[in-house]
Amino acid sequence: MAAPKPTPSLTVYRGFPTRGCYTFSPFVNKLEARLRIGGLPYRVETGSVFKAPRGKIPYLDLDRADGDGGNKAGDNEPPEQLCDSTLIPRRLVDEGYMPDLNAALTPAERARDLAVRAMLEDKLYFFQMRERWIDNYYTMRDTVLGFMLFPMRVLIGLFAYRNVKNTLHGQGVLRFTADEAQALRVEVWEAVNAMLLASRNKAHEAGRDEGPFWVLGGAAPTEADATVFGFVVASLDCKQAPTTNEIIRSFPVLMDYAARIHDQYFSDYKRWTE
């Protein structure tokens, strides 16, 4: 019988110096949720977009030599840096370090899973960016760039603001009125809430009242759950996204969903205020 594959040493770079809590980046939270659901331990470091392989947070160091068995003699290969909150889990699954959460799904279920992720990552994300960098610019600037001296913070903040504004105008989100953007933002959360309500009811009918329930309604999580959870907790108690915070808290099922996953997988993390 082949020996089990040693667990690699993983370091997640979150872009924030805080520890023991969620970040306001949904993609950082998503990656951490995926690792914990997959049973892989990791440590966190701050890192920065300037050191990230593709200029994106989060990224990860994968050190195969410094796993369960420690460094092997003659094996001095440096850790491999992986990036993107979708590509990192896919790589870890392909190399056999984590189970494939979507392996048992039918083609139609895989399509639903992908649609949920795309709705949040490729649509809602830009509305969230507008809320944080346009509607609440000064709060966002002073949080993200708070470590800088004020003159430099103003300069870099204006540069970031112009880049975000150009991106959102080209993408289209900034061409909506404030009321239109709000309605479209709420529409996404209403859709997620409807799916989770159906899933919780299904879990109840199956006698699964304890522990998490999952967005596709199955007995186990899928890739979409890491994304949904990541987006939910990124806006709870987030002063840069007060509107989204209110929206999420208006849906008890969303709060219940996040709380159950937190209790099972993130009990060591600070929980949002009720």
Quickly list DSSP for 176-241. S-HHHHHHHHHHHHHHHHHHHHHHHHHHHHTT--SS---TTSSSS--HHHHHHHHHHHHHTT-TT-
Is residue 229 situated within a structural domain?
yes
Is the same domain home to 186 and 54?
A: no
Give the number of domains in the chain.
2
- Other CB atoms within 10 A of residue 240 CB: 23
Q: Of 235, 232, 270, 230, whose CA–CA distance to 36 is shortest?
A: 230
CA-nearest of 128, 120, 121, 117 to 24 is 128
pLDDT on residue 47: 92
Per-residue pLDDT in tens (0 to 9) along the chain, 274 residues: 344 567 899 999 999 889 999 999 999 999 999 999 999 999 999 998 889 999 999 999 999 876 554 444 345 678 999 999 999 999 999 999 999 999 999 999 999 999 999 999 999 999 999 999 999 999 999 988 988 899 999 999 999 999 999 999 999 999 999 999 999 999 999 999 999 999 999 999 999 999 999 999 999 999 999 999 999 999 998 999 999 999 999 999 999 999 999 999 999 999 999 7
Of 71, 94, 117, which residue sits at a domain end? 94
Are both 134 and 191 inside the same structural domain? yes
Do residues 229 and 133 share a domain?
A: yes
H or E stretch at 82: strand 80-83
pTM (2 d.p.): 0.93
| Co-location of 229 and 135 in the same domain | yes
Domain-located, residue 2: no
User: What is the structure's pLDDT at 101?
Assistant: 97
> Three-state SS for 103?
coil
Q: Please indicate, yes or no, if residue 64 is contained in any of the structural domains.
A: yes
* 137 found inside a domain: yes
CB 28 within 8 A of CB 57: yes
Read off the DSSP letter of residue 29. Answer: H
Domain boundary among 35, 68, 94: 94
Q: Are residues 172 and 75 in the same domain?
A: no
Q: What's the domain range around 116?
A: 107-265
DSSP state of 98: S
Same domain, 41 and 67: yes
Q: Which of the listed residues 48, 73, 94 is the one where a domain comes to its end? A: 94
Domain contains 17: yes
99 lies in some domain: no
Q: Is residue 102 part of a domain?
A: no
Longest dimension (CA), the chain: 63
